Amino acid sequence: KAGVTQTPRYLIKTRGQQVTLSCSPISGHRSVSWYQQTPGQGLQFLFEYFSETQRNKGNFPGRFSGRQFSNSRSEMNVSTLELGDSALYLCASSREGGSRNEQFFGPGTRLTVL
Amino acid sequence: GENVEQHPSTLSVQEGDSAVIKCTYSDSASNYFPWYKQELGKGPQLIIDIRSNVGEKKDQRIAVTLNKTAKHFSLHITETQPEDSAVYFCAARGNDMRFGAGTRLTVKP
């Protein structure tokens, strides 16, 4: 069974631009969560989607948004990029989401904002 | 919200020795506690997890213990090998998943 895939793997943008990252979950998984990983802040939860609905949201500004499609694939968008948005963005999928389901991570998208 | 504290931040052991990483959490609603291993350039990989109705779980050289009363849980790796070198994260799940800051484990051959 294929794992979680994320595209692109690397991205370089400039301040003020916007970016869209994509995540394809493991086949059969309906929940997708997004995380931001930085050396200073560690792994921080962005949001979780289940059956095309945002189920949970972390403490990030409204510039960060996401969506999930009927095939469970998910995208996250960051608008008006800031230097501090440079990070590894990780997507994780689980079968049903919630507190008792294992999450499996993708390799991440490394975003650099210049 | 949930805060998860993880110690130590770095750990260096000799091959064959044991390694122990400890985490504490604050949200008593947390009921799922996974551990992840992250190697350079890769996403975190789930290595073991434990649920709140269990006190201990073992998988070959890896074991996890949970003390819900004290709100702490630990990862134990026995007979460490150089390929165990990586960053390890604990996490606790209540409404969402909160991660510890990570432990960089180095196993010296």
Residue A30, phi then psi, degrees to nearest 5: -110, -10
- Residue A25 is classified by DSSP as P
Cross-strand pairs, B21? B75
Bridge partners (DSSP) listed for residue B90? B35
Chain A and chain B share a number of CB contacts under 8 A equal to 53
* A64: its two tokens: 């960060």
Q: What pLDDT was estimated at residue B2?
A: 55
Pick B43's closest partner by Cβ from A42, A56, A107.
Answer: A107
Chain B closest CA to A34's CA: distance in Å?
11
Q: Cβ of A107 under 8 Å from any chain B Cβ?
A: yes
| CA–CA dist A93, B41 (Å, integer) | 19
Quick one: how far is CA B29 from the chain centroid? 19
Contact B56, B72 (CB under 8 A): no
What residues in B contact A58, CB-CB < 8 Å? 96
* pLDDT at residue A60, rounded to an integer: 95
Between chains, do A90 and B43 touch, taking CB under 8 Å as contact? yes
> What's CA B62's distance to the chain center, in Å?
10
What pLDDT was estimated at residue B52? 83
The reported pLDDT for the residue numbered B28 is 87
Is A33 close to B100, i.e. CB distance below 8 A?
A: no
Residue with tokens 């996250």: A76
Question: Which are the contacts of A96, defined by CB distance < 8 A and separation ≥ 6?
Answer: A30, A31, A50
What is chain A's pLDDT, residue by residue, as a tens digit (114 residues)? 679 999 999 999 999 999 999 999 999 999 999 999 998 888 999 999 999 999 989 999 999 999 999 999 999 999 999 999 999 999 999 988 666 678 999 999 999 999
Distance CA A78, CA A45 (A): 15
What is residue A40's predicted lDDT score, i.e. its pLDDT?
Answer: 84
Q: Walk along chain B (109 residues) and give the pLDDT tens digit of each residue.
A: 458 999 999 999 999 999 999 999 998 889 999 999 999 989 999 999 998 888 999 999 999 999 999 999 999 999 999 999 999 999 998 877 899 999 999 999 9
The C-alpha of A33 sits at a distance from chain B's nearest C-alpha, in angstroms, of 9
For B84, list phi and psi in degrees, rounded to 5: -80, -10
